[in-house]
C-alpha cells in the first residue's frame, strides 16, 4: 500500500504522519525548495523570520497534545494572549484572546519536526492527478492533495466529483512585509489593524521568537495585495510608510522585503473537515474549515486516519 501525498505543508505532513503511524506507506511530494508551505520562515541575519502564519492557537484536544509536545521539547512556546487594536488614526488598547504560540526556530520548524520520520521529495511540481489514481502517470493506492483549492483544481483530470468540490471557491491574497529597524521603538506583540486600505496585521517577530530582535512583519489587506500580485515589491514603500506612520517609527529600516501569498486564505469556511473521494483521490488543507494552522493539521490528520481505515 502506498499513498502519494502531494503538498508538504502542515496538512500534508499531518496526513502523512497519520498514514505512517497506521502502517501505510507514504510518498510525500512537494514543489517547494523546503517543506512548510505557508508556515514559511526565511533565515536573515542568522535568524528565522516568519513570513506566513504568525502564530498558532489550539482548541482541539488532539492538536493541543501535539502543541504540548512541541512546547515540552522547546520547539514552541506560549507567546501572548493580548494584541493591540489599531485604525489608521492610531494605536488603540490591547484585547485579550486565546493564547497564541510562537516558535524559537520559526514556524517552518514545526512542519520539519512532523516530517522527521518521513522522506519528502522536494522540488517536484506535480502537474496531473487522474483516475486510477495516478500522479503524473504513476499509479498509487490512493492520492491526497494537501494544498489550497486553486492549486489543487488544475491538477485534477477526469475527476468530476473532486473538481466539483473546488470550483468557485475563492481565495484571497496577502503581502507580507518584513523589516528590521536599528532598535525597537514600539511596544507591542501584535496588532490587528481595522479600516486601513494598506495594513491588516503587524507582528513583532523578535518577541514572538523570543530573541528580542527589532524585526516587524506587517501583512497587507487582500485588496492591496490583489493590485500588486505581478510585482509585490512595488507595494513595499506603501506598506513601510503605513507601518512607520502607525507605530511612529522615526528611522528607516536596515532592510525590508515583501513576500507574496497569492492564495493566503479561503474567503468562505467549509463545514467538511476533508474530502475522502471514492475515486481514490482525497483533499485536505485549511480550505476545509477556518484558515488556521490547527484546522490544516486536523484536516490532514483526520483524513490520514480515515484513509488508513479505508485501505485496511
Ligand X SMILES: Cc1cc2nc3c(=O)[nH]c(=O)nc-3n(C[C@H](O)[C@H](O)[C@H](O)COP(=O)(O)OP(=O)(O)OC[C@H]3O[C@@H](n4cnc5c(N)ncnc54)[C@H](O)[C@@H]3O)c2cc1C
- Residues binding ligand X (CB under 6 A): 6-12, 29-32, 37-39, 52-56, 124-126, 146-148, 151, 155, 174, 176, 219, 261, 264-265, 285-286, 291-293, 296
First vs last Cα of the chain: how many Å apart? Answer: 10
For ligand X, the closer of residues 155 and 239 by Cβ is 155
For ligand X, the closer of residues 55 and 275 by Cβ is 55
For ligand X, the closer of residues 224 and 264 by Cβ is 264
Can you spell out the DSSP letters for 69-104? Answer: HHHHTTS-EEEEEEEEEEETTEEEEEEEEEEEEE-T
- The span from the CA of 77 to the CA of 103, in Å, is 6
Do the beta carbons of residue 91 and residue 84 sit within 8 Å? yes
Closest by alpha carbon to 42, among 262, 288, 258? 258
For ligand X, the closer of residues 240 and 258 by Cβ is 258
The cell for 143 is 492520492
The cell for 309 is 481505515
- Shortest distance (Å) from residue 62 CB to ligand X: 16
- The span from the CA of 13 to the CA of 113, in Å, is 9
For ligand X, the closer of residues 229 and 252 by Cβ is 229
- The span from the CA of 176 to the CA of 202, in Å, is 9
Amino acid at each position: 500500500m502506498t499513498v502519494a501525498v502531494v503538498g508538504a505543508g502542515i496538512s500534508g505532513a499531518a496526513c502523512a504522519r497519520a498514514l505512517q503511524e497506521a502502517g501505510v506507506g507514504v510518498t510525500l511530494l512537494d514543489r517547494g525548495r523546503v517543506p512548510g508551505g505557508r508556515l514559511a520562515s526565511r533565515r536573515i541575519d542568522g535568524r528565522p523570520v516568519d513570513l506566513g502564519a504568525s502564530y498558532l492557537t489550539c482548541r482541539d484536544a488532539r492538536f493541543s497534545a501535539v502543541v504540548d509536545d512541541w512546547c515540552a521539547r522547546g520547539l514552541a512556546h506560549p507567546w501572548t494572549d493580548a494584541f493591540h487594536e489599531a485604525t489608521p488614526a492610531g494605536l488603540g488598547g490591547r484585547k485579550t484572546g486565546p493564547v497564541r504560540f510562537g516558535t524559537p526556530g520559526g514556524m517552518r520548524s514545526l512542519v520539519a519536526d512532523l516530517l522527521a520520520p518521513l522522506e519528502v521529495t522536494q522540488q517536484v511540481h506535480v502537474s496531473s492527478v487522474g483516475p486510477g489514481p495516478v500522479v503524473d502517470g504513476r499509479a498509487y493506492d490512493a492520492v491526497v492533495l494537501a494544498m489550497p483549492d486553486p492549486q489543487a483544481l488544475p491538477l485534477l483530470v477526469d475527476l468530476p466529483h473532486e473538481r466539483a468540490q473546488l470550483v468557485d471557491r475563492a481565495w484571497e491574497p496577502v503581502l507580507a512585509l518584513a523589516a528590521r529597524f536599528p532598535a525597537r521603538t514600539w511596544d507591542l506583540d501584535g496588532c490587528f489593524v481595522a479600516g486601513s486600505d494598506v495594513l491588516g496585521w503587524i507582528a513583532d517577530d523578535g518577541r514572538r521568537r523570543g530573541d528580542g530582535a527589532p524585526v516587524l512583519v506587517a501583512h497587507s489587506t487582500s485588496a492591496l495585495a490583489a493590485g500588486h500580485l505581478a510585482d509585490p515589491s512595488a507595494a513595499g514603500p506603501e506598506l513601510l510608510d503605513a507601518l512607520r506612520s502607525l507605530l511612529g517609527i522615526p528611522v528607516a529600516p536596515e532592510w525590508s522585503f515583501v513576500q507574496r501569498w497569492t492564495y493566503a486564505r479561503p474567503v468562505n469556511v467549509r463545514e467538511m473537515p476533508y474530502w475522502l473521494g471514492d475515486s481514490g483521490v482525497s483533499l485536505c488543507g485549511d480550505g476545509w474549515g477556518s484558515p488556521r494552522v490547527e484546522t490544516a493539521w486536523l484536516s490532514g490528520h483526520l483524513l490520514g486516519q480515515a484513509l488508513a481505515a479505508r485501505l485496511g
